[in-house]
């Protein structure tokens, strides 16, 4: 098999002195979709943030490899340019910056271009907005300012589509969405994958419904900062029926 796109080896991290990830191993190859499930507080967002290079977390042991290269010392900026993307669980609003301005900057930075034609960005943006069922007026609105939950999430998928990352983390991009919005998000992810078949995806979710739409190759259960079980989509169905209790460590 080819070299993994992303590999986490025995990853440990802490924030504000408390340990959160306690030895995570994960291998994502090109084109694979992995689902990461687990109870609240297990460390799912932390894992995504640490891979992205969030400065609030300290890697205390283990390694993160992107195409075989140890990226531990890279800034979030460098990681983004190298093709790692994170759709936030709670996207921030940035007033004063419109969606189109933001995306133009982000794409230019990702593609290492000094300048990018506004027209070119706008055309691609409009095309993707249509595919994602977004009102074109969105392009001019300030980033996430007054956006509903569903609009914020679609906007994250829009960013993913335009940035065309090598590996995308989607952190509960489905939470708070009704079933129609969830389908749009899932369809968006599928469409991006059709155009970029080599893209790896790690989707953090609680919903089997989303997984039915996205069809992950692997499902992992994170409990207490450790992956306690990995399997196929059947694992997600088991969780839906039994909850996470089966996977929690037995406390004596």
Positions touching ligand ADP (CB under 6 A) are: 15-16, 18, 20, 38, 40-46, 56
Q: Smallest gap, in angstroms, from Cβ of residue 97 to ligand ADP?
A: 25
- What is the CA 227 to chain-centroid distance, rounded? 18
Partner from ligand ADP, Mg ion, none binding residue 53, C-beta < 5-8 Å depending on class: none
Q: Smallest gap, in angstroms, from Cβ of residue 42 to Mg ion?
A: 8
**Closer of 15 and 97 to ligand ADP (Cβ):** 15
**Closer of 4 and 39 to Mg ion (Cβ):** 39
Among 249, 213, 212, which Cα is nearest to 234's? 212
* Binding flag, residue 144, Mg ion (CB under 5 A): no
Q: How many CA atoms lie within 13 A of 166 on its CB side?
A: 17
**Closer of 37 and 99 to Mg ion (Cβ):** 37
**Closer of 37 and 186 to ligand ADP (Cβ):** 37
Q: Smallest gap, in angstroms, from Cβ of residue 201 to Mg ion?
A: 17
Q: Smallest gap, in angstroms, from Cβ of residue 76 to Mg ion?
A: 18
Q: Which residue has the tokens 């694979």?
A: 32
Q: Smallest gap, in angstroms, from Cβ of residue 44 to ligand ADP?
A: 3
**Scanning residues 12 to 51, which ones bind Mg ion (CB under 5 A)?**
44-45
Partner from Mg ion, ligand ADP, none binding residue 159, C-beta < 5-8 Å depending on class: none
Residue 69: strand pairing partners: 66
Partner from ligand ADP, Mg ion, none binding residue 133, C-beta < 5-8 Å depending on class: none
Partner from Mg ion, ligand ADP, none binding residue 20, C-beta < 5-8 Å depending on class: ligand ADP
* Binding flag, residue 159, Mg ion (CB under 5 A): no
Binding mask 45-84 for Mg ion (x = CB under 5 A): x---------------------------------------
Partner from ligand ADP, Mg ion, none binding residue 188, C-beta < 5-8 Å depending on class: none
HEC string for the chain: CCCCCEEEEEEEEEECCEEEEEEEEEEECCCCEEEEECCCCCCHHHHHHHHHCCCCCEEEEEEEEECCEECCCCCHHHHHHCCEEEECCCCCCEEEEEHHHHHHHHHHHHCCCCCCCHHHHHHHHHHHHHHCCCCHHHHHCEECCCCCHHHHHHHHHHHHHHHCCCEEEEECCCCCCCHHHHHHHHHHHHHHHHHCCCCEEEEECCCHHHHHHHCCCEEEEEECCEEEEEECCHHHHHHHHHCCHHHCCCCC
Q: Which residues bind Mg ion (CB under 5 A)?
A: 44-45, 89
């Amino acid at each position: 098999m080819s070299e993994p796109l992303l590999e986490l080896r025995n990853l440990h991290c802490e924030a504000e002195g408390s340990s959160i990830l306690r030895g995570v191993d994960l291998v994502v190859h090109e084109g694979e979709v992995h689902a990461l499930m687990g109870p609240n507080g297990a460390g799912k967002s932390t894992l995504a943030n640490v891979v992205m290079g969030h400065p609030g977390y300290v890697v205390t042991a283990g390694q993160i490899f992107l195409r075989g290269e140890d990226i531990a010392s890279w800034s979030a900026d460098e990681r983004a340019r190298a093709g790692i993307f994170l759709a936030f669980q709670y996207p921030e609003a940035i007033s004063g910056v419109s969606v189109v301005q933001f995306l133009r900057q982000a794409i230019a930075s990702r593609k290492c271009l000094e300048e990018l034609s506004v027209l070119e960005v706008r055309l691609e943006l409009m095309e993707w907005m249509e595919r994602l069922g977004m009102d074109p007026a969105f392009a001019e609105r300030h980033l996430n300012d007054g956006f509903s939950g569903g609009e914020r999430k679609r906007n994250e998928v829009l960013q993913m589509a335009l940035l065309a990352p090598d590996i995308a983390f989607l952190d509960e991009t489905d939470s708070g969405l009704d079933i129609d919005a969830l389908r749009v998000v899932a369809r968006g992810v599928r469409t991006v994958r059709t155009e970029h078949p080599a893209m790896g995806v790690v989707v953090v979710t609680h919903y089997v419904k989303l997984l039915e739409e996205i069809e992950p190759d692997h499902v992992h259960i994170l409990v207490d900062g450790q992956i306690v079980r990995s399997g196929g989509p059947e694992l997600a169905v088991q969780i839906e029926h039994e909850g996470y209790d089966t996977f929690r460590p037995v406390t004596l």
